[in-house]
Structure 1
């Protein structure tokens, strides 16, 4: 599965049913390319094609929503996590929004630190930290999005506004010079924005396949972060374009 097909799957996990034309515009490719991608994804039992579009195979929705993404680019996510811990100090307050990349960062933190306070809306991250460390954990409560295994909504966003964070690792569905950081999920984007405002230092965290991708919702401007932590597969031309615009790439 190539990077575009991985991002198409993420799009389906949010939108469930999508027209071919919408996908072609979203990913800036031809309809023929989209049809080939969908044929491949149908063979993998991820989606079911219909006239003019496709929909997510419901037999696999609950199994694949989180677990499928956890296995996507797993090596790259570990590279990102190993880089991220260098921006953390003992006794700091760390914000981790819901993402499989941040889950890997959480695991990495337990192997290098003893005393941290972690704020997160991710149930998976909380479970990982609870079974691996003595970190202080703070979760917002509220409505749970079952597919993402996280707390979402206005009440959860309001909850985070009372806390100060030293570092916030912000995941994203897409990042581009034109749109900044973007995401697909409205509930998740609310939480990201709230945590963004409460942090001293913010790092975008995402693998190289998410660069030059425009997702549905604007989350944060590029200039609002210390930099973006990504894997080593990012094309040098893309790295150069971001760095010329003043965005640090780690």
Structure 2
């Protein structure tokens, strides 16, 4: 019986990672078991940090052994990410130099930056960001060199960090795979964490952008503390009480 339960849980993890957010009823139908069985399985898998439970279902939880692709991120919670991106661009203030992180929300920010008339210099490790910005002659884009990660199309390793280490940046716009008040901002890959962490050190202001499911998640490699941030931009789905826990550490929390 224990082996059957474990095999079913591994199938649940595979389904959630393949399909993204999945409901309890859908899993129960696919696996031909009762909904209550699925709920118990989801609790067990969340305790083992393999999935994240939601109201009525589950989401994939990124870890050192699993990370979602840019394609997957481009079809999940897109309206929320667009609102966050717009708010991030509005928060640039008088910045002239910007570090723009890898990820789908930063890509949406890059697309919005192309509409800005004033000149900006944008530093990024993301090939997707660089391609989006290349059509804007009024802006200067610096693409960090290095090894290209296939899942996110971003550069890492010493070529990227060597280039970034000599730059002084006004604002860093950062994503993360997880953020908690005590464990800070994290990502599954140490090489990615090295680039993000250096961007934090080389910037004057730091803005975190991320949907509500990022909050309360601890990722493998920490690259910043919540106290390092000036601003957190997320969606209204993040409960006000949870937002206040992060605001108590220093940054302003904007829910859009």
Instruction: Give the TM-score band, short-chain normalised.
Output: 0.7 to 0.9
Q: Which residue of 2 aligns with 1:104?
A: 108
Q: Which residue of 2 aligns with 1:50?
A: none
Take 1:231 and 1:91, find their aligned partners in 2: how far apart are those partners?
A: 24
Contact 2:114 2:135 survives alignment (8 Å): no
In structure 2, runs of 5+ residues without a counterpart are 1-12, 21-41
Residue 88 of structure 1 aligns to a residue whose secondary structure is coil
Q: Which residue of 2 aligns with 1:9?
A: 17
After superposition, residues 55-74 of structure 1 pair within 5 angstroms as: 65-74=69-78
> Normalising to structure 1: TM-score of the pair?
0.75
> Normalising to structure 2: TM-score of the pair?
0.73
Take 1:227 and 1:154, find their aligned partners in 2: how far apart are those partners?
A: 29
Q: CA deviation at 1:140?
A: 1.7
Q: Which residue of 1 aligns with 2:123?
A: 119
RMSD of aligned Cα (Å): 2.9
Contact 2:226 2:246 survives alignment (8 Å): no
- Would you identify which runs of 4 or more consecutive aligned residues in structure 1 move more than 4 Å? 20-23, 27-30
Farther off after superposition, 238-247 or 120-129? 238-247
Q: Does 1:192 align with 2:186?
A: no
Q: Which residue of 2 aligns with 1:224?
A: 228
In structure 1, runs of 5+ residues without a counterpart are 13-19, 42-54
Q: Which residue of 2 aligns with 1:25?
A: 48
Indicate how the Cα distance of structure 1 residues 160 and 37 shifts in structure 2: closer, same or farther if over 3 A, else same: same
Take 2:116 and 2:156, find their aligned partners in 1: how far apart are those partners?
A: 29
TM-superposition CA deviations, 1:215-249 (whole Å, max 9, x none): 11111011111021112221112112222333320
After superposition, residues 157-236 of structure 1 pair within 5 angstroms as: 157-236=161-240
Indicate how the Cα distance of structure 1 residues 29 and 65 shifts in structure 2: closer, same or farther if over 3 A, else same: closer
Contact 1:90 1:115 survives alignment (8 Å): no
Asked which structure has the greater CA Rg, the reply is: 2
Take 2:241 and 2:132, find their aligned partners in 1: how far apart are those partners?
A: 37
TM-superposition CA deviations, 1:149-203 (whole Å, max 9, x none): 1111122112101111110001111111120111112221111011111101011
Paired residue total: 211
Q: CA deviation at 1:90?
A: 5.5
Take 1:244 and 1:221, find their aligned partners in 2: how far apart are those partners?
A: 13
Take 1:102 and 1:217, find their aligned partners in 2: how far apart are those partners?
A: 20
Take 1:196 and 1:24, find their aligned partners in 2: how far apart are those partners?
A: 31
